[in-house]
Structure 1
Amino acid sequence: MFSYPPAEDVLRDLGDKVVGALVDATKAARDDLAEYRLTHAAWVADHSERGLANWIHDRLWAHLRRELTDVDQVSLTDLGNKREVTVGLRYRARVKRHDLTDKVRSYPTKAAVAFWTQSDTLEGLEEIRLGFGYRWDPEERLIGSTVISLRDGLDKETVWAVVVDIESTAGTTTFTWEPVDPSLPQIDLYETAENVEEDDL
C-alpha cells in the first residue's frame, strides 16, 4: 500500500533551492500583477477569471524557469498545457492555483487522474506528485502565500498542504513552513466536457 511521505520529509528532499525558488517566483509574479494593475488597470479589470489565471500562470512559470534552470537534479517540462517540475527521480510537481482552503481545480481527464493519483510501487521507487503554487483570493484578485500540497486522486481530499516562506537571519536564508488543516483542502472538479484539455492553472 502507498505510504504518504510527511511534509517535512518532502520539503527536506526538495531542498532550500527548490522551495526558495518557488517562494521567489511567487513573489515576483505577485509584483508583476501589482505592476500590471498600476500600468493597465482597465486591462486587468476586463480579464475573465480564466484569462487572468492564464496571465499569472505564465508569469509564475517564467520566474520559476529562471530560478530553477541551473539547479542540479531539477528539470522543467513545458508542453503547452502541461508544465511540470521534476526534482530528482522521486518528485514531480504541477504549478497550480490553490483557493483559500487549498482546493485546486482540474478537469478529470485521463492525464489529470494519472498525475494526481499517487502510484503504489516498490518502496523507495515511488514517484511523488505535488502541487506547487499559491493561494488566490478571488474577492480581492490577489496572489497570497506560496503553497506546496500532496493529494491522491481527483476524488479524494488533500493528504497535506503547507504554506512556505523565506526567512533571513544572521546572514543566512532558510525557508519556513506551516502545515494547513488537512480536513479543509480537496480537489474541486469541473464539469466533465468532451474535447477539453486539462486545466493546469
Structure 2
Amino acid sequence: MHAVAHERNMKLHVAAGLAVGLAGGCVALPLAAQLGLLLCVALVLAAEAFNTALEALVDLCTTELRREARIAKDAAAGAVLALAAGAVLAGAAVVARAGPALSAARPRLGADAAIGAGVLAAAGWLLGRGHASGRANRVATALGGALLAGAAHRTVAWPFTGLAVALFALAAAAAARRSPQVSR
C-alpha cells in the first residue's frame, strides 16, 4: 500500500497491470497465455515492492552518499526494469499469437475499449492526483467501480477481471491513504 501511495514506478506498474487485466478480460486467451500474463504482472509488482523495501532499508542504514548504497539501489531497480521488459515481451508474444481470439472479440472491442479507457482514467486520477480532494477521489472510485461492474458483466476471462478489480481497489485505497483527513 505504501509503495502504491508514494512510489511513482509502482503507480505505473499498477496502471499497466490494470490495463492487462482489462484487456485480458475481453479476449478468450489460451490457459498458458493467461497464466503467463498473470505471472508477469505479479512478478513485476512484487519486484517493485521489493525494490521499495530495499531502498528504504538502505536509507535506514546510512544517510551518507555511499558507493555500496548506490550499487544496491541501482541493482534492485535494474532487476525491476529487466522483469518489466520481459513482461512487455511476453505480452507482445501473446498478442502476436492471439489472432483468432482477437478476431472473435472484434465485435465487442469498441465497447470494451471505452469501458477500459474510463476505468484507466479513473485509476489514473487516483494514482496521480488522488490526494487532491476526498470528494474527487470518491467520484473517481465510484465511476471506476461502476465501469468495472460493466466490464465484469462482459468478461470472457474472470481471472483478468479479478486482477483489474483488485488493482483498481488498491489504487483507490492508496489514494484514500494519501488524502488529507477532512472533518464533515
**TM-score with structure 1 setting the length:** 0.30
Bigger RCO (CA 8 Å, 6+ sep): 2
Higher strand share: 1
Question: Which protein shows a greater Rg?
Answer: 2
**TM-score with structure 2 setting the length:** 0.32
